[in-house]
């Protein structure tokens, strides 16, 4: 049967968009454009997977990426996301990024019950799922109209390059698929595949190069936390060090690997002299808390720092007011504790220890905000 060709270059072509979605809904295969390459869209059913396997010339058992029409739909398939992953999605979707998320067994069981065994088996493989929300409005409308989850690998057989024009699609699959959509001028504008990113036990990993590179992913996703005091030699460096320790323990990684998991924790002072080390007492106490701040060097708080960081915690109300004066977003600047953290400068080790204990207690109360 000849492959039907439908030109849809406007989201206002509701009749044509509905026609393509119905073809998928009825078990057909539709070649749909995205901003990267063409995809072969099918219902996430055993029959859909079998047909895709045949077209793609893949061995049985290969799983395909779920495509969604609205990034809000992600919650149905990945109910809980780490803060760096959520930030990455917020900044890149709709867009040329495929997200792979690992699940723990308890979470997998919940998804199996929620979605049903058949759909679950089609979407989740080896404890993970791959999801993408393409940046092409027509394609998102098609996906949103299909009542069953839609999977869509790139439109190419075997080792051939992915199709980026409808002519290439027909060259590969004419008379083998039900319909190919001709998109508008923004179709396949990147002319390369989406970047595939996995977030798991090793933090962020690039599984396939694409539009975004590794530096892009880490820059976009990183949760930035800043602690602010006066001279940046006592309270804020202790908070920085203790926060790193608590976060690393929570995630199950080393302090040095926190950037791989999407976290950057720093400190500054509203009246700091750049380049001063942490006080000797602060270093001693931090070692007792299992972290070293020996390499710390003070720096002056700037408006640019306030702009760059996602969470900013002040030790006192004076620091808070200065931070908010420099900030365009008042909500991201807060006191670390409901009680001000008093300056231990000039005090003995016991005073520094009490200061660190207050900081640790406050951070343990707040830590879920970052995870």
Nearest to 99 by CA among 113, 87, 117: 87
Q: Which residues pair with 43 in a beta bridge?
A: 150
Q: Quick check: is 235 catalytic?
A: yes
Measured CA angle at 298 (ends 296, 303), to 5 deg: 125
CB 34 within 8 A of CB 137: no
Q: How far apart are CA 370 and CA 147, in angstroms?
A: 35
Nearest to 226 by CA among 297, 148, 314, 342: 314
CA-derived radius of gyration, the chain: 25
CB 258 within 8 A of CB 265: yes
Q: Where are the alpha helices (DSSP H) in 198-316?
A: 214-221, 235-251, 280-288, 303-308
Q: Which segments of the chain are extended strands (E)?
A: 4-7, 30-32, 39-43, 66-67, 97-102, 128-132, 150-151, 179-182, 195-200, 203-208, 223-229, 263-269, 311-314, 333-335
The secondary element (H helix, E strand) that includes residue 161 is none
Cis peptide, bond prior to residue 30, ω within 30 of zero = no
Q: Quick check: is 355 catalytic?
A: no
Nearest to 122 by CA among 76, 62, 56, 41: 62
DSSP 178-230: SEEEE--TTTT-S-SPPEEEEEETTEEEEEE--SS-HHHHHHHH-EEEEEEES
CB 217 within 8 A of CB 233: no
| DSSP 8-class letter at 300 | B
Q: How far apart are CA 115 and CA 34, in angstroms?
A: 26
Q: Quick check: is 343 catalytic?
A: yes
Please identify which of the residues 188, 229, 286, 323 carries the catalytic annotation. 229
Q: How far apart are CA 225 and CA 240, in angstroms?
A: 9
Please identify which of the residues 235, 323, 324, 355 carries the catalytic annotation. 235
Cis peptide, bond prior to residue 121, ω within 30 of zero = no
The residues assigned a catalytic role are 229, 235, 343
């Amino acid at each position: 049967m000849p492959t039907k060709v439908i030109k849809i270059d406007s989201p206002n072509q509701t009749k044509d968009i509905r026609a393509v979605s119905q073809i998928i809904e009825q078990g057909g295969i539709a070649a749909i454009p995205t901003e990267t390459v063409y995809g072969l869209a099918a219902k996430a059913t055993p029959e859909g997977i079998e047909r895709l396997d045949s077209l793609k010339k893949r061995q049985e058992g290969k799983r395909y990426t779920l495509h969604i029409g609205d990034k809000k739909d992600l919650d149905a398939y990945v109910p809980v996301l780490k803060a760096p992953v959520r930030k990455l999605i917020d900044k890149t979707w709709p867009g040329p990024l495929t997200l792979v998320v690992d699940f723990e067994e308890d979470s997998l069981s919940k998804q199996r019950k929620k979605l049903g065994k058949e759909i679950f088996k089609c979407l989740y493989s080896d404890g993970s799922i791959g999801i993408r929300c393409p940046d092409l409005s027509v394609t998102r409308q098609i996906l949103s109209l299909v009542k069953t989850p839609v999977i869509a690998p790139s439109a190419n057989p075997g080792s051939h390059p992915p199709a980026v024009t409808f002519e290439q699609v027909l060259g590969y699959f004419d008379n083998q698929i039900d319909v190919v959509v001709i998109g508008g001028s923004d179709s396949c504008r990147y002319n390369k595949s989406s970047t595939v990113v996995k977030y798991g036990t090793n933090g962020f990993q690039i599984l396939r190069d694409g539009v975004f590179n590794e530096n892009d992913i880490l820059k976009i996703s990183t949760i930035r936390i800043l602690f602010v005091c006066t001279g940046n030699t006592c309270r804020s460096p202790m908070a920085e060090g203790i926060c790193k320790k608590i976060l690393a323990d929570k995630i199950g990684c080393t302090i040095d690997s926190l950037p791989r998991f999407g976290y950057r924790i720093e400190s500054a002072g509203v009246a700091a002299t750049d380049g001063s080390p942490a006080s000797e007492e602060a270093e001693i106490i931090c070692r007792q808390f299992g972290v070293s701040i020996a390499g710390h060097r003070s720096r002056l708080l700037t408006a640019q720092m306030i702009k760059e960081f996602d969470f900013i915690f002040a030790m006192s109300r004076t620091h808070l007011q200065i931070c908010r004066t420099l900030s365009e977003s008042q909500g991201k600047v807060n006191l670390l504790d409901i009680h001000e953290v008093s300056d231990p400068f000039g005090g003995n080790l016991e005073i520094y220890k009490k200061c660190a204990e207050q900081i640790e207690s406050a951070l343990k109360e707040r830590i879920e905000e970052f995870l």
